[in-house]
Amino acid sequence: MKLGIVGLPNVGKSTLFNAITKAGAESANYPFCTIEPNVGVVSVPDERLEVLQKIYDSKKIVHTAIEFYDIAGLVKGASKGEGLGNQFLGHIREVAAIIHVVRCFEDENVVHVDGEIGPLKDIETINLELIFSDEELIDRRITKTRKALKGDKSLQRELSILERIKATLEQGISVRAMEFSDEEWAFVKTLQLLSAKPIIYCANVSEDDLVENGGENKYVKEVRNFAKTEGAEVVVISAKIEQEIAELDDKEKYAFLEELGLKESGLDKLIRSSYHLLDLISFLTAGPQEVRAWTIKRGTKAPKAAGKIHSDIERGFIRAETIAYEDLKEHGTMSAAKEKGLVRLEGKEYVVKDGDVILFRFNV
């Protein structure tokens, strides 16, 4: 899963990226300190794996992972090439979802590219650049479809969708805010529109606001109200606190969070929101060699899930020996769970559920 971190210069993008990936992307108090997208791979925390390791006495744990792309700061005019904008927009096209870092803190020592703090204006600046880029693509597609329509009347439906999208974009509204049927959405996805990508607005607040007010301030409220219009997620973090957490080991991290009165880190919140936004779940495999989490789309059937492990397993799929994680945890061993009739043999039509512990049977 690839997530792109975007935002105006000096909103805390690279500080956040450095913290959550410990990858050391350059962070400086001036625009465009990040030119190429830095990439960091982060393990997805899953306490179920530790429990399974004890049950199976496994040699190692393999977490599923998320790739974070730190994409350089966009500015007004990016869609026209300002600030190397076209290059940056190309990087956004490659990610599954956008994490839009929005400055929701005041600090006279950190300059704002527009001279004043205004999260809604910042959001609009970025979103409009994505919309302008999409408009160009849609205009070209409409011209092409109209020509093809003369010889293929079945394209009328596609043309109607394209014209609806164009009208929406012209109002300055992102495609993600539109409503489509499942069939229409399948077509829209093929267009690879930037403003259609799922988005998490990451409100970057001061340390004091996060600790004293749970991160809620007047700027965050503005972001939350806007996000509702798009069905977008909002995560409140303090990039500075994340930076401090990044220097600690796990034991120190939890002690530090407890001291601050925080239940989880900003990274944990981002991962949870990303899974929810993209409708993802994890199934688990376990044995003496390793226990491992695998990420799939909710609604995935067993053979397709097996293909995440290896294409041969999908091709030669016979059945899936399946047990719910909670049942296995409660009874302690597979043999004890089998005695209780909790282990099931599922076929090709079985829809995998979050937390399923699966052994795939296959023959190639």
Give percent helix, percent strand, percent coil of the chain, each to the nearest 5. Answer: 50, 20, 30
Residues annotated within the binding site are: 10-15
CA distances from 40 to 3, 4, 77, 296, 343 (A): 10, 11, 28, 20, 38
Task: Please tell me the distance from the alpha carbon of residue 7 to that of residue 350, in angstroms, as a whole number.
Answer: 41
Dihedral-angle region of residue 34 (phi above 0 means left; psi in -120 to 50 means alpha; beta otherwise): beta
Q: Are 188 and 175 in contact (CB under 8 A)?
A: yes
Separation of alpha carbons 290 and 348, rounded Å:
25
CA distance 112 to 86: 22
In whole angstroms, what is the distance from residue 191 CA to residue 133 CA?
Answer: 12
Give me 103's structure tokens. 């400055």
The Cα 244–Cα 262 span in angstroms is 14
273 closest CA partner among 238, 228, 312, 235: 235
**Beta-ladder partners of 202:** 101, 235
How far is the C-alpha of 263 from the C-alpha of 215, rounded, in Å? 13
| Annotation: binding site for ATP | 10-15
Q: Are 208 and 218 in contact (CB under 8 A)?
A: no
Helix (H, G, I), strand (E, B) or coil at 333: coil
